[in-house]
Amino acid sequence: MKALLLVLLLAGLAVAESREVTVRTFPPHVSVYRSADAPGGLALVGTSDRPVLLEREWFLDSQGRLGNLSLVVRSPGYRDQTLVVSWEQLASGLECRLTPTSWWVGLRDRVRVHPQLLWPGLIPLAAAAGLRWLAVEARRRAQAATSELNALQNLQAGLQADAGDPYLGKKFGPFVLTRRLGVGGMGCVYRASGPDGEVALKVIRPELSDQGEFRDRFWREIRLAGKLNHRGIVKVYCCDQQEGLLYYAMELISGRDLSELIPPGGLEVNAALALFLPALEALEQAHKADIVHRDLKPSNILVEDCGRVVLMDFGLAKSPDSPPLTATGAALGTPAYMAPEQIMGRLDKRSDQYAMGIVLYELLCGRRPFLENDLSVIWKHVSEEVPAPRSFRADLPAELESVVLRMLAKDPEQRFPDLQDVRIALTSLDRSSLRQPVVDLPAGEVWRPYPPGRPE
């Protein structure tokens, strides 16, 4: 009798035996069910993020023999997976991989489990998006630049076709226009006579003068330029409007611009620096007054008959706290001398340094680094490295070449911090073995420029 009770007790313990099982699934954290007679046919036994407790009695058939148990693994977005397992299989744990109902669900959970897989996909995606943005932006700016160029060409063609300039002999304020001196991107420059003598008077193009935003910024920036007082900067006397046309009067300079003084092979180093350093010093003074010129080029740097180097045309100048002075959304300036960031619509004082680097390059080599037309040169400035000056002129000092190339770095952060550092780098060059510069002037005189650093 005691033996029979012991056997029954052991049988009861055996029937009540249970086992904790680890269910490894993909995706993780899914629900595990067993087949049951309950409503719906399934009974939740746990989730795969913690061990599942399975009872031995679930494996017994109607005759008390061990059989197999059906487990159902279920997760939203995946097809149900049925696992048929025996009691002995539980010792090693269970594994299954669910099949997603769509590729997106599988990709989503794979990235959640292995986020490092996201980077190889994001990098080309970001690169493609960036290239797409650059292409759209370049196309927009090219269209705007083409529109500006066409308007300028139409203006020039109209003035050349009309033998009588409509503005000649006309009075703007107290000034009478007597001679047309040239046509620029923003308008025409005339020689004019006034109460205190002759001046240069610039009449802004009508399509720019008609725009209210442009007019407001024009007043602010041209008055700011009028406050500059330096022997190397042309003086702006006044600005006004007449019949809807904006104009400003400035000092009339008698002489030639740098573009007329540069020979095909470039100037001697001392001659080039003697012309460049006074212009650099004048621009440095403008920067100290928080004014960015943003249209620097040889034709805007004049050499008077007496030898004075004068920085001209602050019509595009701006202060750092001013929005861009642009009427169509295009970056104003001369494409052949524009810094990469200026082409993209952002500029600061270091953008002027880039333009002056192009001017110095041209003084030394007799050519610009990029000779393409207005539209293709924009891409060159943004994407291509500047050819080394000594590839066009082997006798240039290596130290001078390194200064020029640093001024022309694509990244503004890699240029000189300011123009004073540029001037110090140029004046400290060893030029003892170079010839003394001699510049022929229109009057037949010979001018030997003062040494760098001489007081005004």
Domain ranges within the chain, ordered by starting residue: 21-110, 114-163, 166-252, 255-456
Whether 255-456 and 21-110 are alike in CATH topology: the answer is no
* pTM, 2 dp: 0.57
- Strand, coil or helix: what is 376? helix
Residue tagged active-site, from 295, 395, 430, 440: 295
Give residue 339's region: left, alpha or beta (phi > 0; psi -120 to 50).
Answer: beta
The whole-chain average pLDDT of the chain stands at 81
Q: Which residues of the chain have pLDDT under 50?
A: 1, 4-15, 161-162, 319-331, 433, 435-456
For domain 255-456, is the CATH number 1.10.510.10? yes
Q: How far, in Å, CA of 304 to CA of 293, rounded?
A: 20
In the chain, % of residues over pLDDT 90: 35
Output the CA angle 338-133-321, nearest 5 degrees: 50
pLDDT digits (tens, 9 = 90+) for 67-123: 899 999 999 999 999 999 998 888 888 999 999 998 888 888 887 777 766 667 677
Helix (H) and strand (E) counts in the chain: 12, 19
Pick the CATH number of 166-252 from 3.40.980.10, 3.90.1150.10, 3.30.200.20, 3.30.420.10: 3.30.200.20
In the chain, % of residues over pLDDT 70: 80
pLDDT of residue 36: 81
Q: How far, in Å, CA of 311 to CA of 100, rounded?
A: 71
How crowded is residue 105: how many other Cβ atoms within 10 Å of its Cβ?
17
295 tagged catalytic: yes
249-268 residues labelled b (16+ CB within 10 A) or e (exposed): bbebbebebbeebbeeebbb
pLDDT of residue 10: 44
- The architecture of the domain spanning 21-110 is Sandwich (2.60)
Question: Does the CA dihedral 44-49-55-56 come out positive or negative?
Answer: positive
